Amino acid sequence: LVINASRSSGMQIPDTFMGVFFEEINHAGAGGLWAELVNNRGFEAEGEKVPSSLHPWEVIGDKPAIVVSIDQTSVFQRNRNALRMEVHCDHSSSCLPDGVGISNPGFWGMNIEKGKKYKVVFYVRSTEGIDLKVSFVGTNGGKLASSEISGVGVNASTWRRVERVLEATETNHYSSLQITATGKGTVWLDQVSAMPLDTYKGHGFRMDLFQMVAELKPRVFRFPGGCYVEGNVLKNAFQWKQTVGPWENRRGHYGDIWDYWTDDGFGFFEGLQLAEDLNALPIWVFNNGISHSEQVNVSAISPFVQDALDGIEFAIGSPTSRWGSIRASMGHPQPFNLKYLAVGNEDCQNNLIPIYQGNYPVFYEAIKRVYPDIQIITNCDASKQPLTHPADLYDYHHYSLTANDMFHKAEDFDHASRTGPKAFVSEYALIKEDAGNGTLLAAVAEAGFLIGLEKNSDVVSMVNYAPLFVNTNDRKWTPDAIVFDSHQVYGIPSYWLIKLFKESSGATFLNSTLQTDSPTLAASAISWKSSVDGTSILRIKVANLDKKAVIIEISIEGLESSVSFSKLTKTVLTSSNPMDENSFSEPNKVVPKESLIQNAGKIINVHIDPVSVTSFDFNM
Ligand code: AHR
């Protein structure tokens, strides 16, 4: 492997190169990164696949001590459902000491940890004579924290907001939240929320999951989908206006693509906020009138265009503008740094092409007229033929079915036009047999792909793995980079691979020649200046898809003779079996392992393991 390390002969990789794609799939947000513990907090979950708007709440106690129903008397105009409980639980009955009530299991159990604090908020109205208690309860029935609210009601027509901070005295990873009542009367509950106080900057993001994403150093953040943006039918697509403003007044919606209800706590604002917190540029994907089963023709597209324009105003408009003022009221008067928009998801395909190509120019022109600097991304693939409409970037998705195909797939871009819009590889992954739920083999195959994209980074601006998250209790798609449940998390080998590429954004891609005709080896070299101490680092990455080890000679040319290496770090991602995966019980089975190589010169022989990705960092 001959590397020309003279920076002047290199090419700058775009600053935006490595990003992440966040989609509300597999409970990535609701029951995931969004730290809300209560599931169906407003009793609104009424999607076709959810028979009861009470689900997953359960009733504690039996008739006649408690009779529960849902009525439409909420104080919140957009979500009228409220829970009504008739309570017959006075001192003469047998339901003491805690009374009767309701219990919410969250998303397959709430992680309540000893010493941590949780803010519980709910709305209540009741007749006189009812006392309430709110508690976190462990799987053995033991209380982890509780608070009493005595004499909630005097006037049953007045809603009252109750807020309590509960500190847990024990840990239980699968707890539930209970609200119980004693006395005799009727009580209504609505918009019940329980959040850990400890979220990233208090912004509502679950700390461990936020950290996992932040460690990838993403430069762009595509959201909120994916097919989630389209919906099977338009009524169930993500509609940003329903997801902004006070959480209590969000309608929530049934995401019919991935088949679950979300309360929309993680809405449009939260996506923009998350991008900002990650120091990444948001890329908003909006619906362009196309769902999986319905399409709006160009003659009726104007409400969708207006919706997109309003969304941009929400993100970057003045805090006194109609939609910008809502952003400001949510605590963010400064505009977000929204510079990229994607018109739809996977819509320029098959029989949809004429509709997409009819609608797209209307969005493009309307947006450019008001926001000429915003970069617009089309769904039409320009890697093989030129586009028929203007665009700043084009979206490119690829899911390989075999490791070999994935390893070589970036060769598509070797032949792409060097003029015209660049590619946004906004979804890629190896799936199916070779990939399992995230094998080493998949990561090595994807390394070949990413190396190929680095080489083509004159025409590829950004790259995202997909999907980012899975809650193992509701796996709709596999593999997914970050795997979690209520309290555990690990990265699959592909996650660790992305980490090996995180310094590529903005780095110099160096000319290198791998003098072999092996179809199972790929290598690249980059250099950049460390943001920590300003030193230059040269990183060589070698992917070996073969089941045999190889020795390669690395020869670094183009450096002044005075330059020497202070340190050479070798990092290897491999395992004894290509099909090895990480798991909750073995989260570090396939993770990169570092070692130091002593006395490195400008020519060295290195051992490359079978089915592995190896990086060599030369500190100069
Ligand atoms: O990443 C999962 C899905 O794959 C996305 O929702 C969609 O865009 C693609 O088909």
- Do residues 375 and 283 touch, judged by C-beta distance below 8 A? no
Average pLDDT over residues 496-511: 97
> Is pLDDT above 80 for 48?
no
The protein residue whose alpha carbon is closest to atom 5 in ligand 1 is 226
Q: How far is the CA of 134 from the centre of ligand 1 (A)?
A: 40
520-577, pLDDT tens digit by residue? Answer: 999 999 999 988 888 899 999 999 999 999 999 999 998 877 777 778 999 999 999 9
All structural domains of the chain, each given as residue ranges with its CATH number in brackets, are: 2-10+508-619 (2.60.40.1180), 20-36+199-300+331-504 (3.20.20.80), 58-196 (2.60.120.260)
> Is pLDDT above 60 for 427?
yes
The protein residue whose alpha carbon is closest to atom 6 in ligand 1 is 226
What is the rounded CA–CA span in Å between residue 469 and residue 486?
13
594-607, pLDDT tens digit by residue? Answer: 999 987 788 889 99
What is the rounded CA–CA span in Å between residue 256 and residue 271?
20
Across the chain, what does the average pLDDT equal?
Answer: 95
Q: How far is the CA of 429 from the centre of ligand 1 (A)?
A: 10
* Strand pairing report for 489-491 and 2-4: unpaired
Q: How far is the CA of 590 from the centre of ligand 1 (A)?
A: 26
Average pLDDT over residues 411-431: 96
Q: How far is the CA of 367 from the centre of ligand 1 (A)?
A: 25
229-283, pLDDT tens digit by residue? Answer: 999 999 999 999 999 999 999 989 999 999 999 999 999 999 999 999 999 999 9
Closest listed residue to residue 101, CA positions, set 61, 159, 136, 74: 61
Tokens of 60: 């504690």
Query: Does ligand 1 lie within 6 Å of residue 108's CB atom?
Result: no
The protein residue whose alpha carbon is closest to atom 2 in ligand 1 is 467
What is the rounded CA–CA span in Å between residue 21 and residue 396?
13
The protein residue whose alpha carbon is closest to atom 4 in ligand 1 is 226
65-106, pLDDT tens digit by residue? Answer: 999 999 999 999 888 999 999 999 887 777 878 899 999 999
In the three-class reduction of DSSP (H, G, I as helix; E, B as strand; rest coil), residue 181 is classed as: strand
160-179, pLDDT tens digit by residue? Answer: 999 999 999 999 999 999 99
What is the rounded CA–CA span in Å between residue 36 and residue 120?
10
What is the rounded CA–CA span in Å between residue 224 and residue 204?
17
Query: Does ligand 1 lie within 6 Å of residue 255's CB atom?
Result: no
What is the rounded CA–CA span in Å between residue 96 and residue 65?
11
Closest listed residue to residue 525, CA positions, set 544, 511, 545: 511
What is the rounded CA–CA span in Å between residue 555 and residue 356?
50
- Confirm whether the ipTM is greater than 0.90: yes
